[in-house]
A and B are shown apart, each in its own frame.
Chain A
Amino acid sequence: MTLANKRAVTAYSFLVVPLIFFIGVRFGPMLYMMGMSLTDWGLLRKTLQFIGPANFEKIFADPVFVQSLKNTARYSLFGAPTVIALSLGLALMLNVIPKGKGVFRLIYVLPYITPVVAVSWVWRWMFQTPPLGVINAVLGAAGLPAMEFLNSTTQALPTILAVNVWVELGYCTTVFLAGIQTIPDEIVEAARIDGAASAQVLRKIVLPLLLPVTLFLTIIEGIQFLRIFTQVYNMSFQAMGGPLESTKSVALYIYQKAFTNFEMGIAASASLVLFGIIMAVTLLQMKFFDRKLDY
């Protein structure tokens, strides 16, 4: 065996371990779930019957599922672009300040490294209606009327969304900042010598060169917001995704079907729908952003 072959064998044998793990805990259950979505599997049911696409007909006829689809669309349509735009702006500004970059970066990344459950509960308490919530106390002191926040069918979803944007901001800013710092100074300098204004440098050089990073973040954040669960579970009252289903995401719907109603077949088919949506959105984003870059 040549040295190169030996190396390859070693590399393969190391790669096999995570592969087994992946097949065992990811792909295996996923295929099983796809099969189960066509059955009437219930945790407490002693028989299992193949029922074809009946589960899918059932969930699409369920107004709660349709509502959770709409909510999920809202989370991702408003959430992901907001995070991307805000974090890009923050990263650009962090890049130009001469001092304190590290401190700012640390502050922005703190929410991201804090456990989501803790973050959710702290914000939940701050968003309380009077006499408890800090935010309403501030509003009251400023003479403004109190807001309902999580207690309102129209404000609850944006409230949870805002918290999640705040959490994701640190991560995206850090990645964007790293991306900006990899842009060769020569290119920027050459552009300036040619007389490019700052806005032109940004539009013609920085943003195009950040495209791969932006693509990566858009996909990651798109997925993040499409499968939002923990924040909704912890911030809505009694973890129900209310009031009146106004904050329920598809992931929470799946969880409730599986572990409150024990309807695993229904939960599996809803999971498959969510999987399909995430897959489609990701492919679309890749098609849209993934153009050949020409330095």
Chain B
Amino acid sequence: MNRNRIGFAALLVMILAGAAIASAEDVEITYWQYFYESKVNLMNDLIAKFEAQNPGIKVEQVTFPYESYQQKVAASIPAGEGPDIANLFYGWMPLWVKSGWIQPLPQSEFSSDWFRKNFYLFVAESVNFDGKNYSVPTAVRTLALIWNKKLFREAGLDPDSPPATLDQLLAYSKKLSKYDAQGNLIQAGLLMQPSGQGHSYIREVLVRQFGGVPYSADARKVSYASPAGIAGFKWYTDRITQDKVGYPNFATDDVTAFKAQKAAMNIDGSFRIATLNAVKDLEWAAAELPSHNGVKSNYASFWTNGIVDGVKGKKLEASIKFLKFLSSPEVQELWLQKIGELPATPSLSEKYKNDPVISVFLKGLASAHATAFVDEAGQRTLLVDAVDQVALKKADPAAVLKDAQAKEQALIDAFWK
């Protein structure tokens, strides 16, 4: 008994001493992201690599389920319990930056020139607020038209030639829609899911293809309810109300419907590649978004890493090193290989020009716009509700879009006031 106690005390002393020595030399930083298995696994590998390159720095990864991630971050950082580095959606950044919880990155390491030289322009613009840069991504995402080859064959269409223009998209989606004896849609030709990527497809693709501009250059004025923008919006809602090729929440949501092979075509993001590849018996392919009037457009988005306010001294130095590492070409390539998200540095994509899936999403980057959200959830809801107004209440698309524009303008004005 006594010996045991002595042994235990000795062990305790050793542990404490060991911890003291370690803390004198090592600096530990914490990295938070949401749980997505392939990302978490890759991050563990990356951390091991980083720690080997930088002795004395330890990185701890903490993850939360996607559904509660933003809440956890928002509750923890102000309480002083948060991470040193947080992985956040770019559309959330304005709020975080404005409230002062994310600190600007040092000009010496992350200058605007460095961003413009190494990253896509929309990245350089999106991370910059009042001349300062606040975060740096590893990867970016774009949209593409994805289709189910088996359902194409069933409808007598060539499974290897997807529609290239909006007019073709319309014709294809009509051919690919199936109805039961009572006229209920049982196979969607084209999925219409504004709450998924649909609201971005309307905002940044359709509005522009019909000759409109969704926002002013400084992103402070909403302008999608122009006659051209309304035409773009109406193209979308007409598919629901007139042609009935799909409707919001068909078979729960677009991803479920496409995975269950109840839908022939969808507009979805590059982040879905791994999910769709994992579905057995699903033969799918991706194509560039159909053009209209010769105009190509796309929506780009990204998750980005920022350093939390209050991190300083050795931890700040270590965090800066880790951010540099996460945005390095080496990590970007691994990210593409393991996760499927596109490199944020344009030159790195050269190698993948011939990859049948990745090249499609890469091409989208050439015409991509990243919406300058101030309240991503609020702005999304406005367009989701606008489509619902037309789809469920037979409201006039023009009036509905004008109303959404006025409400979105009020959100933006309230944010910047």
Residues of A within 8 A of B (CB): 42-46, 125, 128-132, 136, 140, 145-146, 150-153, 237-238, 240, 242-245, 259-262
Q: How far is the CB of B403 from chain A (nearest CB, A)?
A: 12
List of A residues within 8 angstroms of B377 by Cβ? 260-261
22 A-B pairs (CB sep. < 8 Å): A42-B99, A43-B74, A44-B74, A44-B78, A44-B96, A44-B101, A45-B99, A46-B100, A125-B252, A128-B251, A128-B252, A130-B186, A131-B184, A131-B186, A140-B184, A151-B247, A237-B252, A240-B381, A243-B248, A244-B389, A261-B377, A262-B74
List of A residues within 8 angstroms of B4 by Cβ? none
The CA of A276 and the CA of B18, in the complex, are separated in Å by 57
B378 contacts the other chain (CB 8 A): yes
B262 contacts the other chain (CB 8 A): yes
B26 contacts the other chain (CB 8 A): no
B95 contacts the other chain (CB 8 A): yes
Most buried by A among B75, B78, B249, B378: B249
Contacts of B159-196 to chain A: CB distance below 8 A: 180, 182, 184-187, 195
**Is the Cβ of B389 less than 8 Å from the Cβ of A130?**
no
The CA of A240 and the CA of B377, in the complex, are separated in Å by 11
Q: What residue in chain A is nearest B377 (Cβ atoms)?
A: A260
List of B residues within 8 angstroms of A136 by Cβ? 184
Contacts of B240-289 to chain A: CB distance below 8 A: 247-253, 262
B393 contacts the other chain (CB 8 A): yes
Q: What residue in chain B is nearest A259 (Cβ atoms)?
A: B71
Q: How far is the CB of B268 from chain A (nearest CB, A)?
A: 16
Contacts of B379-406 to chain A: CB distance below 8 A: 381, 384-385, 388-389, 392-393
List of B residues within 8 angstroms of A153 by Cβ? 392-393
Instruction: Tell me the count of chain B residues lying within 8 A, CB to CB, of chain A.
Output: 34
Q: What residue in chain B is nearest A46 (Cβ atoms)?
A: B100
Q: How far is the CB of B232 from chain A (nearest CB, A)?
A: 22
Q: What residue in chain B is nearest A243 (Cβ atoms)?
A: B388
Q: What residue in chain B is nearest A156 (Cβ atoms)?
A: B392
Known: A43-B75, A46-B99. A261 touches B182 (CB 8 A): no
Q: What residue in chain A is nearest B195 (Cβ atoms)?
A: A238
With A140-B182, A237-B195 already in contact, 4 other A-B pairs whose C-beta atoms are closer than 8 Å: A125-B252, A128-B252, A240-B195, A261-B378
The CA of A132 and the CA of B262, in the complex, are separated in Å by 10
The CA of A65 and the CA of B184, in the complex, are separated in Å by 34
**Is the Cβ of B249 less than 8 Å from the Cβ of A244?**
no
Q: How far is the CB of A150 from chain B (nearest CB, A)?
A: 8
Q: What residue in chain A is nearest B95 (Cβ atoms)?
A: A44
**Is the Cβ of B393 less than 8 Å from the Cβ of A44?**
no
Contact partner, B392, options A43, A238, A243, A262, Cβ 8 Å: A243
8 smallest beta-carbon distances between A and B, as pairs: A131-B186, A130-B184, A44-B99, A237-B249, A43-B74, A259-B71, A146-B184, A243-B388
The CA of A129 and the CA of B388, in the complex, are separated in Å by 16
**Is the Cβ of B100 less than 8 Å from the Cβ of A244?**
no
The CA of A260 and the CA of B251, in the complex, are separated in Å by 26
The CA of A153 and the CA of B96, in the complex, are separated in Å by 35
**Is the Cβ of B184 less than 8 Å from the Cβ of A152?**
no
**Is the Cβ of A132 less than 8 Å from the Cβ of B251?**
yes
List of A residues within 8 angstroms of B385 by Cβ? 242, 244-245
Contacts of B105-134 to chain A: CB distance below 8 A: none
**Is the Cβ of B392 less than 8 Å from the Cβ of A244?**
yes
List of A residues within 8 angstroms of B187 by Cβ? 131
The CA of A205 and the CA of B252, in the complex, are separated in Å by 51
List of B residues within 8 angstroms of A45 by Cβ? 99
Q: How far is the CB of B368 from chain A (nearest CB, A)?
A: 25
The CA of A261 and the CA of B100, in the complex, are separated in Å by 16
List of A residues within 8 angstroms of B250 by Cβ? 129
The CA of A136 and the CA of B182, in the complex, are separated in Å by 12
List of A residues within 8 angstroms of B195 by Cβ? 237-238, 240
The CA of A242 and the CA of B251, in the complex, are separated in Å by 16
**Is the Cβ of B78 less than 8 Å from the Cβ of A130?**
no
List of B residues within 8 angstroms of A152 by Cβ? 392
The CA of A134 and the CA of B230, in the complex, are separated in Å by 38
The CA of A43 and the CA of B99, in the complex, are separated in Å by 10
The CA of A153 and the CA of B249, in the complex, are separated in Å by 14
List of A residues within 8 angstroms of B75 by Cβ? 43
Q: What residue in chain B is nearest A151 (Cβ atoms)?
A: B249
**Is the Cβ of A43 less than 8 Å from the Cβ of B249?**
no
List of A residues within 8 angstroms of B95 by Cβ? 44
Contact partner, B388, options A43, A131, A244, Cβ 8 Å: A244
Q: How far is the CB of A246 from chain B (nearest CB, A)?
A: 9
The CA of A244 and the CA of B100, in the complex, are separated in Å by 34
Q: What residue in chain A is nearest B249 (Cβ atoms)?
A: A237
Q: How far is the CB of B102 from chain A (nearest CB, A)?
A: 10
Q: What residue in chain B is nearest A240 (Cβ atoms)?
A: B381
The CA of A260 and the CA of B388, in the complex, are separated in Å by 21
Q: What residue in chain B is nearest A143 (Cβ atoms)?
A: B182
Q: What residue in chain A is nearest B187 (Cβ atoms)?
A: A131
Known: A44-B99, A242-B388. A131 touches B78 (CB 8 A): no
Known: A129-B250, A242-B388, A244-B388. A146 touches B182 (CB 8 A): yes
Q: How far is the CB of A245 from chain B (nearest CB, A)?
A: 8
Q: How far is the CB of B291 from chain A (nearest CB, A)?
A: 30
List of A residues within 8 angstroms of B393 by Cβ? 153, 244
The CA of A262 and the CA of B92, in the complex, are separated in Å by 12
The CA of A152 and the CA of B394, in the complex, are separated in Å by 12
